[in-house]
Amino acid sequence: MSIHKARMGTRINQVVDIFLTTAPSENILDATHGEQIQATIQQAVNDVLDEGH
């Protein structure tokens, strides 16, 4: 799966995120897949933040 666009926003006390993949058939349907994606994104963010030090 390749995520080519992400949108994130807040509404009062909620966070909304939308990820668009390269193929519409690659929907995230189970919690395990979602957790893997979350871990990958978190690692990428950490890598970017670490580069700034």
Residue 53 and residue 33 in contact, taking contact as beta carbons nearer than 8 Å: no
Quote the CA–CA distance of 34 and 53 in Å, as a whole number. 30
Which two tokens mark 31?
A: 């919690």
pTM of the model: 0.52
pLDDT reported for residue 23? 66
- pLDDT of 13 strictly over 70: yes
pLDDT in tens, 14-29: 888 777 776 666 667 7
- Model confidence at 2, pLDDT cuts 50, 70, 90, reads confident
Buried b / exposed e along 17-52 (16+ C-beta atoms within 10 A)? eebeeeeeeeeeeeeeeeeeeeeeeeeeeeeeeeee
